[in-house]
Amino acid sequence: MHPILIIVFLPLLAAIVAGLGNKKLGFVPSKVVTTGALFISCALSWPIFLSFLNGSAEASVVPVLQWVKSGDLDFQWALRVDTLTAVMLVVITSVSALVHLYSWGYMSEEPDQPRFFAYLSLFTFAMLMLVTADNLVQMFFGWEGVGLASYLLIGFWFRKPSANAAAMKAFVVNRVGDLGFMMGIFGVFLVFGTVSIPTILQTAPGVLNGSTIGFLGYRLDTATVLCILLFIGAMGKSAQLGLHTWLPDAMEGPTPVSALIHAATMVTAGVFMVCRLSPLFECSPTALGFVTFIGAATCFFAATIGTTQTDIKRVIAYSTCSQLGYMFFAAGVGAYGAAMFHLFTHAFFKALLFLGAGSVIHAMHHEQDMRYYGGLRKHIPLTFWAMTMGTLAITGVGIVDVAGFAGFYSKDAILEAAFARGTELSHFAFFMGIFAALLTSFYSWRLVFLTFFGKPRWEQSEHIQHAVHDAHGHGHDDHAHDHAHGHDDHAHAHHDAHGDGTAGYHPHESPFNMLVPLGILSLGAIFAGIVFNHAFVSEGEGEFWKGALVFHEHLIHAMHGVPHWVKWAPFTVMATGLLIAWYGYIKNTRFPAAFVDQFGFLYKFLLNKWYFDELYHFLFVRPALWLGRVFWKVGDQGIIDRFGPNGAAWVVAKGSKAAVKLQSGYLYSYALVMLVGLVGAISWVIAR
Amino acid sequence: MSGFPILSLMLLVPLVGAVACLKAGREQARMIALVTTLVDLALGAVLWANFDTGGAQWQFTERANLFAGFSWALGIDGIALVLIALTVFLMPICIGASWNSIEKRAGEYYAAFLLMETLMIGVFAAQDLFLFYIMFEAGLIPMYLIIGIWGGADRIYASYKFFLYTLLGSVLMLIAMFWMVNAAGTTDIPTLMQYNFPPHAQTWLFLAFFASFAVKMPMWPVHTWLPDAHVQAPTAGSVILAGVLLKMGGYGFIRFSLPMFPVASAQFAPLVWGLSMAAVVITSLIALVQHDIKKLIAYSSVAHMAIVTIGLFAFNVQGLEGSMLIMLSHGLVAGALFLGVGVIYDRLHTREIDRYGGLAINMPYFALFFLLFTMASIGLPGTSGFVGEFLSLMGVYQASSWVALVCTTGIILGAAYMLYLYRRVIFGEQKNADAAAMPDLDTREWLMMVPLGLVVLWMGVYPESFLAPMRKDIAMLDARVAVAAPKGDAQVKKGAAKPAAEHEAAEHNDAQGEAH
């Protein structure tokens, strides 16, 4: 039995056991089953990755079951393992296993734990199906499967209206992207006569060369139509500009979910798709230009919003959106290796940041607003260090040609590739990327400074007030989740300590099972770049990827030849962002308020997320509901029923009254048309 | 199996059960009904097991001439086989759904149900034109009774509306049938399927049949009987209405309209496309604003059936097979959704969405099943809903990218209205004390839900079981309508210079674009 079968299907099995067993199975068994399954999958995935890394493995496909056979359309359930899959395997199973472990601590007060762990494992299964897909339809299966898991996990706290709304929004907005994906698959089948990914990629250059297709009444370049349709799917799943609105709202889900799904794995599926189909995208410079533009615009746009948000998770969510933009424009300029490298490093440091944020939220009694944090580094030092490692990694701290944190290697590779590509659009992407890097550095350090430095501002937080109140008054009313740490944590809180802004609250460091994942991910955030840099982006890249994605050797050479200022630009903007953040949030804390006073319009624009939600509500949601009511009340009831059956019923009613008077009417009806007789028969039965 | 009249037996068993039920009390009647339907289910399994996939087109044929060229002719192909299987599978579940909820005149109720089973199987098995017509129209009588006697408050209005609509089409179809028999000189359906009617006659014949099938389907704008019928019907009535009766329209198209009038079918394809596109968008939007659970699911049925007609009139294998799969899947999924509504209706006696909420708390397993069927309705890959929808839309894309685009928006709107429903009923706080006190599924309900759930997943993961029996029949139908197939708007043109190696592949692809 090929290990990939165990890697993929063990999480599914665990999800079924934990999900159906639920409370009958008990908390600990369901957690052991799911977490154990993920650690086994993870342990089996790393050897596969390492064998690809040292060049000893070859791409292979493990068939599982026939799926659909209809005319010329024929595809199986099958698991494909090549370098690209192997990279995704280790990312998914490692982060997922750690998130499972972390959730033991984070969700320990939750009464619905088995359901949570079942969903997590179900998600992992769907994600693994996505990355092992050998045909587009199985990829779509995984694609929608992770969407389902995401829906269920965002809405995990289903009593909260905001969580339900966010879950539904995530699913529906993703469906808009999926419409593109589905149309793309239809188009691919029409053009290639197959949905098998290897066959498509092999024949693409020949089939698509100069080919045109009729689409919606226009005659367009075939490759462009197909790639853009498929890319719309990627935009939905990876929350790119226009279809991004669901991602910030998705933060309603429990924080481990945000780390696993909305940072490390699911949202990168779009990048994976573009890389997987890179030979197809290479056939259309127009589509690649579109990818570059969307990526660059998103990385800038999301970063601007990240600078003004006050919810710690939303800052990281916009940061994710922005980093995905980097990955897309890397793919757009042809640096697929760099895109995958950033996906790889980003998975570690972004999962770390989210889990770190979760640890902060855990310590701060479910308070997520950074305005009510401050001075936490002395209270939760390990979390502080982990978050710092993550921030050093995301802001790309490092010295050119010496060493640096994970993000330093991958982000610099992307920026260099964008510059080296040398087209107008790639330069646009480069400058957008540089500016976004400045903003990234600013908002990331802003987060760290607001949370861990300065004086505590906890007393204004309602959550903290509740916690302190509960600890003193023993008023365990609706705060079932307080109990576990409520007793010993706050027992020694003092009322007279209020003067220091702590409200007498004492945050405690998270338990062991939450700190271990933070520690391991910190190692990833520090070393993932320096260790794997060579394999992912270098002249030797081709040997690593083995054709799993398109590799331009000349682009690698050009990247080495970029001017010095290009190499140093990321470092410079990183330092600048750090300085501004330091000035505004440590040195002169009145500065942000003064800035907001000065540029109120800009601030409001960013704080309200460029008004996308309002716009969409106005353009789509309200008209849909309005049209629904009109079609129902006016169309169905006012026109169709009124002139159709109701009119006829009126005539029949009049007629049958006459018939009753005539007594013999029934007989005639029977004799004329059998069916009209039924009216009488039925009337008789009903009236009896 | 050869020679054994299994189809007649399958028709006879429920008929005998129906007669027995008439005289029986409630307890006896439901037991008779259950045993009868289970026997028919077992016979259905035997039928499927003995069906020779890839063998003769018509199997288990029986023929007994009665009078004036009218004969008792039965026989099935793969298409009929899977629809009969759907019928006998849903029937015991319907009896189960009625187990406790039907109290008045139970004997007659179960008799009506069993009679309906006979007639539905008869529709799919009939090989004589008039036999088909009798089954097809008489099948409405028990349904009419079920709505009119055991239905909700507005049952009389709903049953009249149901009857009036269907009457309209039937008369025209009957006239067309007389004309056809006169012209072709036979009432034998397989012969008629090969008979080439003159093109101008096809036009009128097509429209006459269309009037009947479009109502049965139902297609927009002759769909308004369906929401009322569903809302007023008892649970089991809704299940069988959505599960099997709506499939008669689709079956009619695939058995009569397409093979008998291929030229007219092509001629009217744009009309069907237009009505279907309108249906997908309009009824989905209407479903979005419903307050009544059953009405919402009823409108969603209209939208799903529109994808069926789209697939049928795509005139290619994917479209046809996709349509068949949607019919099967919708039969299971919409049936299961109505069953789910019945489960909570039995407890709270209201269909008002706002009266529920937070059911995930007190009915977790119900919530799980309802989620599965909601997802299947949305067409999540891995469930039955996906495969059919995907194939149908893929089929129609080869004919027209516009139609495909408009109909594919159904996946967005479908997600919106179904998840909105799920959110209001299952998620949220427990607003109503009585809804919060409802117990989770009992054994009887588990026994109904589990088989449906398993088949929904089976059809999603391994649809080959359902595609294989009808593959050959669909291929023959595809060949029959090939003359009518539209050119398609894609018309992929290859580039100027092309290396010889790729030439063959490109050749094949161009053929794709044109042949389908």
Q: Where are the domains of chain B?
A: 6-484
Handedness of CA A233, A236, A237, A240 (dihedral sign): positive
In a domain, A417, yes or no: yes
User: How far apart are the C-alpha atoms of A320 and A324, rounded to whole Å?
Assistant: 6
pLDDT of residue B86: 94
Residue A218 to chain B, least CA–CA distance (Å): 9
Inter-chain residue contact A175 with B408, CB threshold 8 Å:
no
The two tokens of residue A197 are: 């990914």
**Of how many residues is chain B composed?**
516
pLDDT of residue B515: 40
pLDDT band, residue B312 (cuts 50/70/90): very high
What's the mean pLDDT in A383-403? 89
pLDDT band, residue B394 (cuts 50/70/90): very high
User: How far apart are the C-alpha atoms of A645 and A648, rounded to whole Å?
Assistant: 5
Residue A164 pLDDT greater than 50, yes or no: yes
Which residue in B173, B181, B142, B148 sits closest to B18, CA to CA?
A: B142
In a domain, A378, yes or no: yes
Same domain, A549 and A419: yes
- The Cβ-side half-sphere exposure at B295, using a 13 Å CA radius, reads 17
More confident residue, A443 or A486: A443
User: How far apart are the C-alpha atoms of B348 and B101, rounded to whole Å?
Assistant: 12
Most B CBs within 10 Å: which of A9, A77, A175, A688, as the mutation test of the B interface? A175
Residue B194 pLDDT greater than 70, yes or no: yes
pLDDT of residue B355: 87
Handedness of CA B429, B432, B436, B441 (dihedral sign): negative
Same domain, A548 and A672: no
Residue A496 pLDDT greater than 60, yes or no: no
Which of A263-267, A277-281, A463-467, B130-134 is least confident? A463-467
Residue A475 pLDDT greater than 70, yes or no: no
User: How far apart are the C-alpha atoms of B22 and B29, rounded to whole Å?
Assistant: 8
What's the mean pLDDT in A630-658? 72
Peptide bond preceding B221: is omega within 30 degrees of 0, i.e. cis? yes
Select the residue of B221, B387, B427 nearest A158 (Cβ to Cβ).
B427
Q: Kindly state whether B317 is in contact with chain A, defined as any CB-CB distance less than 8 angstroms.
A: yes
User: How far apart are the C-alpha atoms of B392 and B167, rounded to whole Å?
Assistant: 30
Average pLDDT over chain B, rounded to whole? 87
Residue B50 burial (CB count, 10 A): 13
Strand boundaries in B77-193, DSSP class E: none
pLDDT of residue A626: 87
Domain boundary among A587, A608, A643: A587
| A168 vs B contacts (CB less than 8 Å) | 416, 419-420, 423
pLDDT band, residue A278 (cuts 50/70/90): very high
pLDDT of residue A371: 87
Most A CBs within 10 Å: which of B441, B509, B514, B516, as the mutation test of the A interface? B509
pLDDT of residue B65: 78
* List of residues 6+ apart from A487 with CB closer than 8 A: A471
pLDDT band, residue A45 (cuts 50/70/90): very high
In a domain, A105, yes or no: no
pLDDT band, residue A483 (cuts 50/70/90): very low
* List of residues 6+ apart from B316 with CB closer than 8 A: A71, B395, B398, B399, B478, B485, B515, B516
Which of A181-185, A473-477, B222-226 is least confident? A473-477
What's the mean pLDDT in A319-326? 93
Inter-chain residue contact A686 with B156, CB threshold 8 Å:
yes
Phi, then psi, of A405 in degrees rounded to 5: -75, 175
| A279 vs B contacts (CB less than 8 Å) | none
Residue A580 pLDDT greater than 70, yes or no: yes
Select the residue of B165, B415, B509 nearest A207 (Cβ to Cβ).
B509
Q: Are B217 and B246 in contact (CB under 8 A)?
A: yes
Report percent pLDDT > 90 for chain A: 49
Residue B223 pLDDT greater than 80, yes or no: yes
What's the mean pLDDT in A47-66? 89
Residue A666 pLDDT greater than 80, yes or no: no
Q: Are A33 and A18 in contact (CB under 8 A)?
A: yes
User: How far apart are the C-alpha atoms of B276 and B298, rounded to whole Å?
Assistant: 16
| B513 vs A contacts (CB less than 8 Å) | 190-191
pLDDT of residue A594: 84
In a domain, A83, yes or no: no
Inter-chain residue contact B164 with A179, CB threshold 8 Å:
no
Same domain, A444 and A510: yes
Residue B434 pLDDT greater than 80, yes or no: yes
pLDDT of residue B507: 42
Phi, then psi, of A328 in degrees rounded to 5: -65, -45
pLDDT of residue A486: 40
pLDDT of residue B500: 41
Which of A349-358, A651-660, B290-299 is least confident? A651-660
Torsion angle in degrees (nearest 10) through CA of A321, A324, A330, A335: 180
Round the CA-based radius of gyration of chain B to a whole number and report it.
23
pLDDT of residue B373: 95
Same domain, A666 and A581: no
Residue B471 pLDDT greater than 60, yes or no: yes
Residue A476 pLDDT greater than 60, yes or no: no
Residue A163 to chain B, least CA–CA distance (Å): 9
More confident residue, B271 or A677: B271
In a domain, A582, yes or no: yes
Average pLDDT over chain A, rounded to whole? 85
In a domain, A114, yes or no: no
**Of how many residues is chain A composed?**
688
What's the mean pLDDT in A82-88? 91
pLDDT of residue B308: 94
The two tokens of residue B473 are: 């029949």
pLDDT of residue A264: 87
Enclosing domain of residue A639: 635-687
Which residue in B452, B470, B453, B392 sits closest to B124, CA to CA?
A: B470
pTM recorded for the entire structure? 0.90
Residue A387 pLDDT greater than 70, yes or no: yes
Question: What would the pLDDT profile of B32-43 be if each residue is shown by its tens digit?
Answer: 899 999 999 999
Question: What would the pLDDT profile of B76-88 be if each residue is shown by its tens digit?
Answer: 999 999 999 999 9
pLDDT of residue A209: 82
User: How far apart are the C-alpha atoms of A61 and A64, rounded to whole Å?
Assistant: 10
Select the residue of A68, A158, A190 nearest B360 (Cβ to Cβ).
A158
Residue A615 pLDDT greater than 90, yes or no: no
Inter-chain residue contact B137 with A640, CB threshold 8 Å:
no
The residue of chain B nearest to residue A147, with distances taken between CA atoms, is: B380
Residue A62 pLDDT greater than 80, yes or no: yes
Residue A68 pLDDT greater than 60, yes or no: yes
pLDDT of residue B334: 93
Inter-chain residue contact B224 with A636, CB threshold 8 Å:
yes
Residue B313 to chain A, least CA–CA distance (Å): 16
Domain boundary among A554, A587, A620: A587
CA distances from B250 to B191, B215, B284, B475 (A): 20, 11, 20, 17
What's the mean pLDDT in B284-309? 92
Domain count, chain A: 2
Which of A110-119, A459-468, B116-125 is least confident? A459-468
Question: What would the pLDDT profile of B104-142 be if each residue is shown by its tens digit?
Answer: 888 888 988 899 999 999 999 999 888 898 888 888 888
Amino acid of residue B213:
F
CA distances from A80 to A63, A64, A426, A463, B463 (A): 8, 11, 32, 48, 22
Residue A506 burial (CB count, 10 A): 17
pLDDT of residue A657: 61
Question: What would the pLDDT profile of A259-272 be if each residue is shown by its tens digit?
Answer: 999 888 999 999 99
Which of A118-132, A662-676, B428-442, B445-459 is least confident? A662-676
What's the mean pLDDT in A265-289? 92
CA distances from A377 to A164, A418, A441, A624 (A): 34, 38, 19, 49
User: How far apart are the C-alpha atoms of A84 and A132, rounded to whole Å?
Assistant: 9
| A176 vs B contacts (CB less than 8 Å) | 412
pLDDT band, residue A339 (cuts 50/70/90): very high
Which residue in A607, A652, A571, A285 sits closest to A404, CA to CA?
A: A571
Which residue in A504, A497, A507, A510 sits closest to A468, CA to CA?
A: A504
